[in-house]
Structure 1
Amino acid sequence: MSKDQTQESRRRFFALGAAIGASSLLAGLANGQDPKQSGSDKPKRIKQGIDLDKWNRIKATPYRGDMPGVCKLPGPHAKRNWPDRDKYKNVKKIPGMCQLCSTVCGIIGYVKDGRLIKVEGNPNDPNSRGYLCARGQAALNHQYHPERLLYPLKRVGKRGEGKWKRITWDEALDEIAVKLKAIRDSDHPEEFAFHQGRLRSKDAVKRFLVAFGTSTQLNHRALCSGNRRAANLTYLWESDWDLNDVEHTKYILNFGSNAFEAHQGHIPFASRIQKGRFENGAKLVTFDVRMSNTAGASDEWFSPFPGTDGAIALAMGHTILAENLHDVDFIETWTNVSVDELRELLKENTPEWAASVSGVAADDIRRIAIEFAKAAPRATTMCNRGSSAHLNGFYNDRAIGLLNALVGSVGKKGGWCWSPWSGVDPIAKTPPMPPSPKTHSVLEDPPEYPLANVWRRMRVGEIIYLYLLQGRAKLQAYMTYNLDSPITWPEESLTQQVMCDEKLIPFHVCINAFYNETAHYADIVLPWSTYLERWDLDARASYNLRPYVGLRTPMVKPLGESRDVRDFFPELAHRIGDGMEQWYPEKDVREYMEKWSENIPENPTTGKSGLDRLLDEGVWESELEPFYEPYEIQLSKEDLAGSQTDENGIITKDGIGIGIQHGDRAVRGFKTPSRKFEIRSAFVNRIGKNKDCSDLIARSGMTKTSNRPDSHAGHDSEIDEMPIWFLPVEMQNLADDELVMTSFKWNVHNHGRTMNLKWLAEIVHSNPAWLNPKTAERLGIQDGDWIEITSYHSVHLQEKAPHLRREDWKEGTTRHEVSKMRVPIVTMQGIHPSAIAMSNSCGHTQYTSVAQATKEPATAGALVGSDTETYHDDDWQRNMWWEDKSGGDTSKWKPNTGNGWNQNKLLPIAPDPISGQQAFHDTIVRITKIEVESA
């Protein structure tokens, strides 16, 4: 039967079912039956004239047994009790926390007969307030996925060949322990690297690594938000994350944040934006190179040239000063510069200048700046990767943050706020940790990126595989955890090359719930339990501006032999021995969780406290006042006892800053060296040059901040003290056939980790390139055409970061090619004419049949670690309509089919020279139309 015949047959089946249902209801009414009655065992009358033989011939094959999330369609003999009205009868409601994106919303799991049947938001969560996005709703796909890993695997073929055998946990842990013990005994424990993706069990991982003696803990922070965090830390020191008080604001000025689809605060943030708009009359203005859903839902949207956000922000600052709409009192009292200094700084940054580089009209820049200032202090900026993921991203975000200081909205209700609690309320204290090791690895702390690790460990993850290839670092063992670097890292081919090389990575253990591209290059794969099966205390930076604690708890027993690191790390530590085991005195994970949560206060209504209270409610929120204007908090007599005040009014105690004299009051101030909002940062300038900053660190009171280590000597960087802006070299004077590539994320996906979830993949599974119609016309391309994209390494970094050079680069060549890729295009007005956009998350070559858009298992070797007989989903066979059957022949490819393309194949390793943030949005590409042909 052809595809068209199958679809027509399915339509007739559905139409017939609907007609039968309607006729049965009418027949029941005619006979005096109550259509609301349910559960009757009497056979229902079928309308005469229905050809049951014909109906049976066209119906699909019945599903085997019960499958999560699959609704069995009613036929002519369906009971009236459909859907099942007793489905949620006698369920247990168990609180937990989602982990299908970085926002970690509180959830409630409905468990019946030991099986999870539904997940919804937990209204007790002060951040998410009971809302849950599409990703969270797909929990059943995650939990009961037929190709989920349930048993340990050991490689039996060549690395990357995909041949495996099932082994026991004892065999796996014994082999891992032997390898790690040898490294620990070799006097080079730093040559064991732990590389995490989305980590929500920080305490468990830290305990194991510091007990082992390695500080080589790698992450993906630089691929996410390094520049934004560094810019915030420059201003604040105590926090790297701004929490825009959008619920109480009057004006939201958005630079490159797609909060309605893809933001670390996602649902908590997006819901508060909308409350601020519809309940408080706030205006939302967005500057973004691409019309995201956030931009489309804004009151105004402007599409600037890529990377010019900072120029627009500086021009707005110029306007605010020129119109005398600035907050003189805040600037002169609470910043470390004067109004005159700011006028001098911004005198050349006129709206006309910004218009010339951004393409946004000067009149609009001037008007919006005035509106923003007049709404203050209930006005706030917001930004994210759209502004920060550039080679000038640090300065973009500093320029944007400056606007809040100019109008005095810093820390104000409805303004630009922050919180020192970036996660779990400090009332919840982990049991004692081992002492931190003094080891050093260039992978964990590369000397070329001065702001990556001075305030806190942000690390520069995108250089890891390049440095291994260059021989700048050595590994004996590599353990990956919830990571899929081949699909999410820039330069996919280089990542694959290094991970496949047993000389560069001699031993690789992968911990994951699914076989993915990272597991494909491992030696041992351990089946990780899902977030619905394990323990954690968790929280995100709170938009209520007060700390809280959430509980992730096992809602159901782990499937198969899947286990969490909290469960098997103690066993591994005991196998390695030599003192590691002493840091695991608890008899089980629950005892550890009880210790960790013992300070959670009693609920006076229920009488429950500690872990029992969290198990009952899911979340506990502190009753502290919201963190507004913390710099005005008055110091107590106890605080001031034994303190000294210097000529600048800075109050210190035992040489450590605690506050500042504000008139006749001693107050907390900002936790910076000047105890003010630092528009001028002597620290970033000095630390960039490897100078001693001990005096500045002491005055700030943030004593965990550190000077750069001796290993950074000779790696000096010039970092301007003030917010400035520049355009990267490659983006100046683009040739006619050159475009700037940008990336984005859909609301239903979280990088590469959700494409395996059926409900989400059905919504978004493909990612053709976006082109503006004017651009397409200029290049002779039409909607639906296939193009070949050629990408290039950064010219800017060839000068600024010579350590990124490759051996095969030819001297004197301006552009060095990264890769080529063929994709179809869609044309739309919602993108800047100088840009080309592709979404990420697509293009998997492993990671389950759903992610690869195939009805049959496409990674057969890995299935020895699964249980496809017990956990199956016949719905794939019936409803994976987006399978690509073209076999690579572009003439046979159908739009919106297939698994898409991995954009990271095209993107070069391009860390911002200041923080190490990956410049995802600065890649220069050339495109050419290709004729439809067999690939």
Structure 2
Amino acid sequence: MTEKKPYRGAKIPSPDNSIRVRRTVCDICSAGCNIDVYIENGKVIKVTGCKDPAFGNGYLCARGHANRPYIYHEERIKTPLRRCGGRGEGKFEPISWEEALDEVGKRLLGCRRRYDGSAVAFTSGGNPWNRAVLQRMARSFGSVNYGSSWQCQRAGVAIASQAAAGCTCRPDIEHAGVVIMWGCNPYNKGNTVVNPVLTQKRGAKVIAVDPRVTVSTCRLADLHLRPRPGTDAALACGLGRIFIENGWVDKNYVEQHVQGYFEYRAYVSDFTPERVEELTGVSAQQLEAAAHMIMRNGPLAMIVSEGAFSQMRGGVQTCRAIEALCVITGNYDVRGGMLPQMRPALEDRVLRKFVSGYAEGAPGEGARAPAGAGHYPLFTRFTGQCHMADLPRQIRQGTPYPIRALCALGLNMSEFPNDGSWADALQSLDFFVDVDLFMTRTAKYADIVLPACSSFEREMLHVTPEHKIYYTPAVIAPLGDARSDLDILCALARRITPEDRLLCAGPSHLYDEWLSRMDLSLDILKNAPEPIQLAQEPYIPGEYTAAGFHTPSGRYELRSTLMSRAGFDALPEYVPPRSAGESRDWPFLLSVGNRQTFGFHSRTHRIAWIRAMQPAPAVELHPDDAKVLGIAQGDMVEIRTPLGAVQMLAQLTRSIQRGMAAVLPDYEEADICAILPENVVDPCSGIPALRAMSCRISKA
């Protein structure tokens, strides 16, 4: 036996084989982890975490390891399709790209001629470059209706900060003495790295506020507070009262820079430790311990879950109550506290200018308001988008004006409650085009379906949270006739917005435009050995406060003028998660959408070994609740809401609280979103309260 024989079958690059390693990014979730891709004869044979320390740490989560079967799955769409059956039946015939794009262009232009540009809505997912191109296309087309599911899931936190401070803020955890992880589970995020500050390597104290027991609460927290779901604002008000009662308020900061402090002080005075314990379940002793830990170890920074709090009934007010704690204690706009994001990052400024840079044909003064603006003005004001949770209502009802066509990048109607209303809306459209990798439940309603590339098949720009930019090329050829999102959008622009020459010029010209505004080029990025730090003027803590807040009063507004004008409570008041009557009739608080470490919505359901980790839809219940109901582990149970019922397996766990039921969405055989009322929303933002629904549980 020669020395080489044992390694002939190994997937290792060597001079004796054609295996090569190239780097790309996983886009199954939004974390954007870098991957080393092993390629032989143009095909992916293995993926591992990127070992180059400039781009990764060598690790991948289960989702990342699923990329090979994901991109080569037999259900990938590989050619443009035209519907040849009824909407929702999934009957399609293959057509050429020219036929598909010509028909899309003809139908969208026809809709604009019959109504106006805003009768066509454009929707996208999370990729910032694709979002910007589609938003500019909508603007060039003359439509005010561009929307992103990303904003409709997360915008509540930003609305809260904007309404109070005039800008968003970020935690300076690198210099904090105490960090509160509020509703966050860093070990369950898409990427595989947890900030060293949270692992206590620098000595910072960490407080976790989470109804659940998680890996993060066990491994990271010095103190874990477990409020009942939806009662976080009461907890925050209780902490605020302790700070005030003990004289731990920064009086100079409050007097000079805060509006509404005395009204806030009067409001939180009712939140005694005993009342907070009654409302939240957090003991008075734990509340006092948390307050003392904060004040003895400052400065204070907070990591607040955008998704969890945006998807609560009182999400905006809860986020305001949480942020108020940093404000009254002088931990806002200071080193180690919460720093205002008064200057958008360079990449954000470039994309904003790109979106607004083409004025011809764009909606002008007196143009229609985006869908949802009449119901949720704060959402429209602070996102500039149509409200995707309200879009199906306007499509169905035609008020205040008709929306008759939809152009979507990967729309997933199962992200929304009462997804049947989305199905009805799609059924009623004159025309619907969807871009996706797979024939999803939503895509089955489309007139034209266009095949998209995975991240392995397209070149991309990426910006890290530290504002470093890098480039990844396509590492394999597109499967079949699939095209990148940017190629598709630019080809469509030539048909519906030919006056916008930049969009029509193609992706390479878009890259040149964006990068030139960053004093970079694609060649520079292609040859860079590591991500390039974008130019960013360093923020000096205190700068925003000294210049005056971008609010009507010029101060931080605990009593928010904008909230009051919009008809909401001006103070950050506690909103109970449910009424007493609702809790009596529907005793379980239902939380939908908790994060999986091994899956992401339905994207990985097609991967057999991933699906095997959670093969059947299941509902998490506390064992004590299950015992009362006569339910054992693995029993089939019925989840009932006012809209109907589904059946799932019982999964018993003490990691959640009594009275709580937690469900993962996107199982078509037990579609939980089909039975969720669409009118249960945060009234301030209109975002569906997926983490605070109500249900009954019984043994099936």
Shift of 1:189: 1.6
Q: Select 1:284's aligned residue among 206, 211, 214.
A: 206
Pick aligned residue for 2:140 from 200, 211, 226: 211
Residues 481-501 of structure 1 show CA distances to partners (whole Å, capped at 9, x for unaligned) of: 11221x2221133322332x2
The higher radius of gyration belongs to: 1
508 and 248 in structure 1: CA distance in 2 versus 1, 3 angstrom threshold: same
Q: Which amino acid aligns with 2:492?
A: L
Summarize the Cα distance change of 1:113–1:733 in structure 2 as closer, same or farther, 3 Å threshold: closer
Aligned to 1:836: 661
- Of 310, 320, 328, which aligns to 2:251? 328
> Is contact 1:222–1:916 with CA below 8 Å preserved after alignment?
no
Which of residues 91, 94, 105 in structure 2 aligns to 1:166? Answer: 94
Which one of 518, 532, 554 corresponds to residue 442 of structure 2? 518
Kept in 2, the 8 Å contact 1:433–1:583? The answer is no
Distance 1:206 1:386, change over 3 A: closer
Contact kept? 1:445, 1:459, Cα under 8 Å: yes
Change (3 A) 1:197 1:498: same
CA contact (8 A) 1:404 1:416 kept: yes
The AA in structure 2 aligned to 1:620 is I
Q: Is 2:499 the counterpart of 1:580?
A: yes
Cα drift, residue 452 of structure 1: 0.7
Distance in 2, matches of 1:290 and 1:179, equals: 49
Q: Structure 1's 155 and 763: CA in aligned 2 closer, same or farther, altered over 3 A?
A: same
Any idea what SS the aligned residue of 2:200 has?
helix
Deviation string for 1:408-429 (max 9, x for gaps)? 2223333223534368254687
Residues in 2 aligned to 1:318 and 1:913: alpha-carbon distance in whole angstroms: 26
Task: Provide the residue aligned with 1:102 in structure 2.
Answer: 30
Q: Which of residues 388, 399, 410 is equivalent to 2:332?
A: 410
1:474 and 1:96 map into 2 onto residues whose CA distance is 42
Tell me if the contact between 1:221 and 1:461 (Cα under 8 Å) persists in the aligned partners. no
Structure 1 residue identity aligned to 2:564: N
Residues 710-729 of structure 1 aligned to structure 2 (within 5 Å): 718-729=567-578
Give, in whole Å, the separation in 1 of the partners of 2:54 and 2:538. 16
Pairing 1:433–2:358 present: yes
In structure 2, the partner of 1:614 is 525
Q: Which residue in 1 is equivalent to 2:272?
A: 350
Which residue in the other structure is 1:823 paired with?
Answer: 648
| Distance in 2, Cα, partners of 1:425 & 1:219 | 16
Q: Is the 8 A contact 2:199 2:220 kept in 1?
A: no
* In structure 2, C-alpha distance between the alignment counterparts of 1:612 and 1:92, rounded to whole Å: 22
Task: Supply the distance in 2 between the matched residues of 1:294 and 1:440 (Cα, whole angstroms).
Answer: 48
User: Counterpart of 1:871?
Assistant: none
Q: CA deviation at 1:377?
A: 1.1
Q: Please state if 1:903 is matched with 2:661.
A: no
What letter is aligned with 2:561?
A
Task: State the TM-score, normalizing by the size of structure 1.
Answer: 0.68
What residue identity is the alignment partner of 2:288? R
Equivalent in the alignment of 2:694: 924
**Greater relative CO (CA pairs within 8 A, separation 6+):** 2
Q: 2-side partners of 1:386 and 1:565: how far apart? A: 29
Alpha-carbon distance between aligned partners in 2 of 1:623 and 1:589, rounded to the nearest angstrom: 24
Instruction: Tell me the matched-pair count.
Output: 687
- For structure 1, the 5+ residue unaligned runs are 1-32, 41-78, 602-608, 634-659, 661-666, 689-717, 792-816, 846-900, 931-935
Letter in 2 for 1:614: L
Counterpart of 2:628 in structure 1 is: 778
Q: Distance in 2 between matches of 1:387 and 1:573?
A: 37
Instruction: Verify: 1:740 aligned to 2:589, yes or no.
Output: yes
Q: How does 1:440-839 map to 2 (within 5 A)?
A: 444-472=371-399, 473-485=401-413, 487-499=414-426, 501=427, 504-539=428-463, 542=465, 544=466, 547-576=467-496, 579-580=498-499, 582-584=501-503, 586=505, 588-601=506-519, 609-617=520-528, 619-622=531-534, 624=536, 626-629=538-541, 631-632=542-543, 667-686=546-565, 688=566, 718-730=567-579, 734-735=583-584, 738-743=587-592, 744-758=594-608, 760-791=610-641, 817-839=642-664
Cα distance in 1 for partners of 2:348, 2:310 equals 28
Q: Which residue number in structure 2 is paired with residue 152 of structure 1?
A: 80
Q: Please tell me whether the aligned partners of residues 539 and 550 of structure 1 are also in contact (alpha carbons under 8 angstroms).
A: yes
Query: For the residues of structure 1 that align with 2:271 and 2:116, how far apart are their CA atoms?
Result: 52
TM norm structure 2: 0.89
Whichever residue aligns with residue 102 of structure 1, its letter is: S
Deviation at 1:555, TM superposition (A): 2.8
Change (3 A) 1:450 1:903: same
CA offsets 1:254-309 (integer angstroms, 9 cap, x no match): 332233224xxx538x611x443331123333232333433343434343222100
Tell me which amino acid in the other structure corresponds to 2:244: L
Per the alignment, residue 712 of structure 1 pairs with none
Q: Tell me how far apart the structure 1 counterparts of residues 73 and 65 of structure 2 sit (CA, whole Å).
A: 14
Q: Secondary structure at the match of 1:373?
A: helix
What are structure 2's unaligned runs of at least 5 residues?
Answer: none
Deviations 1:16-69, CA, capped at 9 Å, x for gaps: xxxxxxxxxxxxxxxxx9xxx7314xxxxxxxxxxxxxxxxxxxxxxxxxxxxx
Larger deviation, residues 817-826 vs 283-292: 283-292
Cα distance, 1:726 vs structure 2: 2.4
CA distance in 2, matches of 1:729, 1:564: 45
Evaluate the alpha carbon distance shift between residue 554 and residue 441 of structure 1 in structure 2; reply closer, same or farther with a 3 A threshold. farther
Distance 1:383 1:84, change over 3 A: closer
One-letter code of the match for 1:395?
Answer: Q
1:134 and 1:324 map into 2 onto residues whose CA distance is: 49
Question: Structure 2 CA distance, aligned partners of 1:570 and 1:121?
Answer: 31
d(CA) in 2 for partners of 1:427, 1:186: 35
Q: Distance in 2 between matches of 1:405 and 1:751?
A: 37
- Residues 448 and 84 from structure 1, CA distance in 2 versus in 1: closer, same or farther, beyond 3 angstroms? closer
Task: Tell me how far 1:112 sits from its aligned partner.
Answer: 4.9
Alpha carbons 1:222, 1:459 under 8 Å: kept: no
How far did 1:789 drift?
A: 1.4
* Letter matched to residue 627 of structure 1: Y
User: What secondary structure, in the 3-state scheme, does the structure 1 residue paired with 2:454 have?
Assistant: coil
Answer whether contact 2:13 2:19 (CA < 8 A) is retained.
Answer: no
Displacement of 1:400 in angstroms is: 0.8
Q: 1:836 to 1:198 in 2, by over 3 A?
A: same
Cα distance, 1:314 vs structure 2: 0.6
Give the AA of the match of 2:643: V
Aligned amino acid, residue 337 of structure 2: G
SS in 1 for 2:326: helix
Residues 474, 296 of structure 1: alpha-carbon distance in 2 compared, 3 angstrom cutoff: farther
The AA in structure 1 aligned to 2:557 is E
- Aligned residue type for 2:69: N
**What aligned pairs does 1:43-122 form with structure 2 within 5 A after superposition?**
79=6, 81=8, 83-86=10-13, 94=22, 96-106=24-34, 109-116=37-44, 117-118=46-47, 120-121=49-50
Partners of 1:507 and 1:903 in 2: how far apart? 28
Indicate how the Cα distance of structure 1 residues 115 and 427 shifts in structure 2: closer, same or farther if over 3 A, else same: same
What secondary structure is seen at the aligned counterpart in 1 of 2:271? coil
Q: Deviations over 1:325-353 (max 9, x none)?
A: 23333333433345x55432321121211
Change (3 A) 1:400 1:732: farther
CA contact (8 A) 2:153 2:310 kept: no
Written as runs of structure 1 = structure 2, the 5 A alignment for 1:235-274 is: 235-239=164-168, 242-262=169-189, 266-267=190-191, 271-272=194-195, 274=196
> What do the CA deviations read for 1:673-711 (whole angstroms, capped 9, x no partner)?
44433322212212x1xxxxxxxxxxxxxxxxxxxxxxx
Q: 1:393 aligns with which of 287, 292, 315?
A: 315
Q: Distance in 2 between matches of 1:355 and 1:101?
A: 37
